[in-house]
Structures are given as C-alpha cells and as structure tokens.
Amino acid sequence: MTVKPQVKVEVKDGNGSKLTIIMSGKFDAEKLNKIMAIIGEGQDQYAEYASQEERGTLMDMLYSAVQYFGTEWFDSKRARDILREQLNRDVPLPVVSTYLSRMKESGKLVCRGNRVHREYRLA
C-alpha cells in the first residue's frame, strides 16, 4: 500500500474564520509556495479593509452604497460595483460579502437565496 504525501494548511483570522487547504498526491515546493503566496495576499487585503472597518469607514461606505438599491434585491457583486464607483478602487468580493452578512446579522439588511446566489435588500 502506497501512502500519498499530504500537506494541510490552516489559516485562522481574528474573527474566528478558518481556511483549510489539503493537498495530497504529487506536488512540489513551488506549488506549495504559490498557494502560500496567494493566501498571504488575501490576508493582506483583508487586513487592510478590516482596519478600515474598525474606523467605520468601509462598512459605512458600503451601507451608504447599498441604499442606492432602495427596496430592490441585489447581490454582493452589484454591491461591489456600486462601492467601486464611490471609492474608485476595487474592494475584494469576499470582503463585500462578509460586510453584507454582518449588516444582515445586525438587522440592516434582509436576505434570500442560498450560498451560491444570495440576494440582499434594505430591511
């Protein structure tokens, strides 16, 4: 019986979120380094926007942006597009999705749909 090599990488943030990547089979150090670089870039982007959230700026800007939709349903991509117009820079979609979810939890938004296609509107 041959045992395949396996690598498991877990990354946790301060909010309790966890990303787990498991690789098995043939891989080399170069592939692993690429994956780690991607994870590092994502963490850097998240940290930048999380620090803005602590000051209230990005969350407030996003809430202001989604008020554009009124009672219309929208998804995280449309919210990101409106926010992009206001900030003149890209905000990663996972950050927008996280903030929309937090607004839902705080009662500012209601949502419908599943994880694949979730839509929001003002409460």
DSSP 59-95: HHHHHHHHGGGTTS-B-HHHHHHHHHHHHSS---HHH
Asked if pLDDT for residue 23 goes beyond 80, the answer is no
Band (47; pLDDT cuts 50, 70, 90):
low
Give the least confident one: 35-39, 91-95, 108-112: 35-39
Asked if pLDDT for residue 53 goes beyond 60, the answer is no
The pLDDT value given to residue 55: 46
Band (41; pLDDT cuts 50, 70, 90):
low
Region 27-47: mean pLDDT is 69
Residues 49 and 90 both lie in one domain? no
Residues 69 and 19 both lie in one domain? no
Residues 62 and 115 both lie in one domain? yes
pTM above 0.85, yes or no: no
Residues 33 and 64 both lie in one domain? no
Range of the domain at 66: 56-123
Residues 43 and 63 both lie in one domain? no
Q: Which of 55, 77, 92 is the last residue of a domain?
A: 55
Number of structural domains in the chain: 2
What is the average pLDDT value for the chain, to the nearest integer? Answer: 79
Residues 100 and 116 both lie in one domain? yes
| Cα dist from 70 to 22, 64, 77, 104, 120, whole Å | 42, 11, 16, 15, 11
CATH number at 110 reads: 1.10.10.10
